[in-house]
A and B are shown apart, each in its own frame.
Chain A
Amino acid sequence: MVKPPDFIAAMTGSLDEQAARHMVTRTPQTEALGFQFVSISEARGAIRVPWRADLVGDPETGVIASGVVTTLLDHVCGLSIRAANAVPQGTLDLRIDYMRPARPQADLIADGHCYKLTRTIAFVRALAHDGDPDDPVATAQAAFALIGGGA
């Protein structure tokens, strides 16, 4: 299978905005969920997932399913590692705390920060909110194995 240049750029080397946008919007699962690229900066990334009826967990509340938040937080962790110029091989563990339900029919935004890189491991924190980062819906703590680290 031939890989498009954007995909290769998203997976290796330093991350420009075009490659970051590709990483957020063009993998099959993130495309299916409708992820939108928000921003990258040094060791940080942000992604939005617009509310959609088929992503709801409990139809009585109309809140996006916690499973969508899991994928959003996992992906924003990977994005912030790439924004720190490291290449994640895969998630080792991901701990998510759900602070409160999101507002019905609210979009969610996730912010990630890769706060420590070793030769083999990236440590990342992330949160998901529905408008106010100081009042998060969920917070996450993750460790990722890095490519080229011999993990």
Chain B
Amino acid sequence: MSVATTPAERLAAFLARTPYIAFLGMRAELAGDEMTAILPFSPHLIGNTMLPALHGGVLGAFMEMTALAQLAVITGGPRPAKTIDVTIDYLRPGRAMDTYARAEIKKAGRRISSVHVEAWQEARAKPVAAIRGHFQTPTEG
């Protein structure tokens, strides 16, 4: 396996190696070092057919994957970080439409990193959900 060197290569490697990311249908784009994750709407993401609304677990999982992707972009080891804990806040119903997320690494530690993520749909200023999480830096080899 070749070692990914640029942020774009590290992001592409993380997205491609994770089967669950393909299950969600998640993508991500880089503008310099700023990453935006995109979860295109798909009927299989619905958790409540009456509203309809995305499954809350999907929103939480999407934001957690966004945090892991951002960590892969910044730290760039061959293995993804491991989630220690996440606290998910649900702010508005996740509607049946595309969702976006950005992660902010509050602290990139040698062993443990702290990351905040917000997800939004129609307006960046009206997030649908947010997480705070701690992630364990993978050991090399």
Q: Using CB atoms and an 8 Å cutoff, list the residues of chain A in contact with chain B.
A: 1, 3, 7, 11, 27-32, 53-60, 65-68, 70-75, 90-98, 101
Contact = CB atoms under 8 A, between A and B. Distances in A.
B97 to A, nearest CB: 15
Contacts, number: 126
Contact of B50 (A11, A59, A66, A73): A11
B86 A57 contact: no
20 contacts: A27-B46, A27-B47, A28-B45, A29-B47, A29-B58, A32-B23, A54-B23, A55-B23, A60-B79, A67-B61, A68-B61, A70-B61, A70-B64, A71-B57, A71-B60, A90-B90, A93-B90, A94-B87, A96-B87, A96-B88
Given A27-B47, A28-B43, A97-B85, A65 B56 contact: no
B106 interface: no
Given A91-B90, A98-B82, A54 B19 contact: yes
Contact of B88 (A54, A56, A75, A91): A91
A67 B18 CA distance: 11
Nearest to A145: B90
Given A11-B50, A27-B55, A54-B20, A65 B60 contact: no
Given A74-B55, A90-B56, A92-B90, 15 more contacts: A27-B46, A29-B45, A32-B23, A32-B45, A56-B19, A59-B17, A68-B20, A70-B57, A74-B56, A90-B53, A93-B87, A94-B88, A95-B85, A96-B87, A98-B83
Q: Which of A3, A29, A30, A67 has the most CB of B within 10 A?
A: A67
A58 B80 CA distance: 8
B49 interface: yes
B56 A91 contact: yes
Interface in B62-85: 62, 64-65, 79-80, 82-85
Contacts of A1: 49
B23 to A, nearest CB: 5
Nearest to A56: B19
B89 interface: yes
A105 B65 CA distance: 20
B57 A75 contact: yes
Contact of B57 (A58, A60, A73): A73
A27 B60 contact: no
Contact of A57 (B46, B47, B56, B80): B80
